[in-house]
Copies of this chain bind each other. A is one copy, B any other.
Amino acid sequence: MIISHKHKDMQELTIGVDIGGTNAEFGIVTPEGDILCDSRIKTKDFPTPESFVDAGVECIHTMLADNRDKFTLANIKGMGVGAPNGNYHTGCIEYAPNLPWEGNVPLSQMFSEKLGIPVALTNDANAATIGEKIYGVTKEMNDFIMITLGTGVGSGIVANGNLIYGHDGMAGELGHMIMVRDENGRKCGCGRRGCLETYCSATGVAMTAREMLQNTNIQSELRNKSPKDIEALDVSVAASRGDKLALDVFQFTGEMLGKACADFATFSNPEAFIFFGGLARAGDLLMKHIEESFNKNAMPIFRHKAKFMISGLMNRNAGILGASAVVKAEF
């Protein structure tokens, strides 16, 4: 393969792959975090990991062929993959309930063998955290906690400048800290009760709204919907219009997140908590309650010291960027 001078200028590109339950997105990323091109396949179209990897490799080769005047595979330093239940230590996706493949899938090795480049893999929350450190608002920070408020609550923890992976690659499951320690705790998908994620995920916010609609007489535009159809986005929209009940839902959610962050601070004393995901788009409607609650509930030595920020990758393709950052952090 002949590498032109132009290609040499483009050294050090990375491929980022964001695997979700619905789509798998592939992108080619510059060191500055610009996505030069991207493409996607439907995860659920591939019943076996082998067929998925074949389709992914084809997708990458098509992107490379379409851009052959600008770069080639020789410009690609490596590939990073973010996936649910991705284990950094083993490079495997392990028993992911929302993906079509069963058991342990050595995806990192499978892609690496087909492409001939190094591949690193981790879970989606960790990928987002590394993405934030390399391309986002925490470039200069060595100690921060990223909290992803999506369908569930995910997290990634950076301490001493490094992401904490844990002994089995399962660190950063802060969505499963117990916040309500009795039989009244909401049932969690992990099989236990009272986990943070049952209250502060998008699903949890919708449930809080349904409970408040049922248990109070507060006027609300949410009463125009069938309770079972209410989603977190409806609560966000209502709150942004000043709907009292929706604002109360965000206050409840923010106060619990603030208490959780107060506990997280006892662990790693982070400089900042970074919020990412759909609910974080509510901005101050949620963030001000998190910060107030933290400053009220944290140990005195931690109060008014931590920053509360929204991710710098919210309006960019965070999945691809985060995944590409995994390979940057690794090789």
Q: Which residues of A contact B (CB under 8 A)?
A: 141-143, 157, 159-160, 162, 164-181, 190-192, 259, 262-271, 297, 299-302, 305
Asked whether, in the complex, the Cβ of A169 is within 8 Å of the Cβ of B299, the reply is no
Are A167 and B179 also in contact (CB < 8 A) when A157-B267, A268-B157, A300-B191 are? no
Partner of A179, one of B181, B190, B264: B181
User: Can you sample 20 A-B contacts with CB below 8 Å?
Assistant: A141-B167, A142-B167, A143-B171, A157-B267, A159-B159, A159-B162, A159-B166, A160-B162, A166-B268, A167-B305, A170-B269, A170-B301, A170-B302, A171-B267, A171-B268, A178-B259, A181-B181, A190-B299, A190-B300, A192-B299
CA distance A270 to B192 in the complex (A): 20
CA distance A191 to B166 in the complex (A): 32
CA distance A263 to B157 in the complex (A): 15
Asked whether, in the complex, the Cβ of B263 is within 8 Å of the Cβ of A177, the reply is yes
Main secondary structure of the interface of A (DSSP, over half): loop
Residues of B within 8 A of A179 (CB): 181
User: Shortest CB–CB separation between residue A226 and chain B, in angstroms?
Assistant: 33
Asked whether, in the complex, the Cβ of A192 is within 8 Å of the Cβ of B297, the reply is yes
Oligomeric state, in copies: 2
CA distance A185 to B180 in the complex (A): 13
Residues of B within 8 A of A270 (CB): 166-167
Chain B: which residue is nearest A165 at the CB level?
Answer: B160
Residues of B within 8 A of A165 (CB): 160, 269
User: Shortest CB–CB separation between residue A132 and chain B, in angstroms?
Assistant: 16
Asked whether, in the complex, the Cβ of B259 is within 8 Å of the Cβ of A174, the reply is no
User: Shortest CB–CB separation between residue A315 and chain B, in angstroms?
Assistant: 27
Chain B: which residue is nearest A260 at the CB level?
Answer: B178
CA distance A169 to B173 in the complex (A): 23
CA distance A306 to B54 in the complex (A): 38
Residues of B within 8 A of A266 (CB): 172-177
- 14 further contact pairs, Cβ within 8 A, besides A157-B267, A160-B162, A263-B263: A142-B167, A143-B166, A157-B268, A166-B268, A166-B270, A167-B269, A168-B269, A168-B301, A170-B302, A171-B268, A176-B299, A177-B263, A177-B266, A178-B259
Chain B: which residue is nearest A306 at the CB level?
Answer: B167
Residues of B within 8 A of A157 (CB): 267-268
Residues of B within 8 A of A299 (CB): 173, 176, 190, 192
Residues of B within 8 A of A268 (CB): 157, 164, 166, 171, 267
CA distance A9 to B162 in the complex (A): 37
Residues of B within 8 A of A168 (CB): 269, 301, 305
